[in-house]
């Protein structure tokens, strides 16, 4: 399941949840990259916020692989998170350009 929230904001918030059997197959990166491309092509957004649980190394790698930079931290009842800003980068394989 994936989400794009706060679409009217300067940088909408992305979310991703995969069942455990789907981990480690590249689906997470593919989904987040597609959301970034779609959000840019459809909504004209240049960057996206992607909060990730501090302990979730795989999701942190997704953000970092997509040129995400840490812009802060959040604390909520379930976990502490690190917040990335992922910029839009033109991909030669873009589905939406």
pLDDT above 90 (res 6): yes
Instruction: Please indicate, yes or no, if residue 22 is contained in any of the structural domains.
Output: yes
User: How would you classify the pairing of strands 13-16 and 2-5?
Assistant: antiparallel
Instruction: Please indicate, yes or no, if residue 55 is contained in any of the structural domains.
Output: yes
What confidence score (pLDDT) does residue 22 get?
A: 80
What confidence score (pLDDT) does residue 94 get?
A: 57
Instruction: Please indicate, yes or no, if residue 97 is contained in any of the structural domains.
Output: no
**Residues 38-56 pLDDT 10s:** 999 999 999 999 999 999 9
Q: Which three-class secondary structure state does DSSP give residue 64? A: helix
pLDDT above 60 (res 96): no
7 φ/ψ angles, rounded to the nearest 5 degrees: -60, -25
Instruction: Please indicate, yes or no, if residue 34 is contained in any of the structural domains.
Output: yes
Q: What is the residue range of 26's domain?
A: 2-87
What is the count of structural domains for the chain?
1
Instruction: Please indicate, yes or no, if residue 26 is contained in any of the structural domains.
Output: yes
What's the CATH number where 47 sits?
3.40.630.30
Instruction: Please indicate, yes or no, if residue 7 is contained in any of the structural domains.
Output: yes
């Amino acid at each position: 399941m994936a989400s794009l929230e706060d679409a009217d904001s300067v940088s909408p918030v992305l979310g991703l949840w995969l069942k455990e059997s789907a981990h480690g197959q590249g689906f997470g990166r593919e989904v987040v990259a597609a959301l970034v491309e779609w959000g840019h092509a459809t909504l004209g957004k240049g960057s996206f916020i992607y909060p990730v649980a501090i302990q979730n190394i795989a999701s942190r790698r997704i953000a970092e692989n997509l040129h995400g930079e840490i812009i802060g931290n959040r604390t909520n009842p379930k976990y502490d998170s690190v917040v990335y800003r992922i910029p839009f980068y033109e991909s030669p394989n873009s589905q939406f350009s």
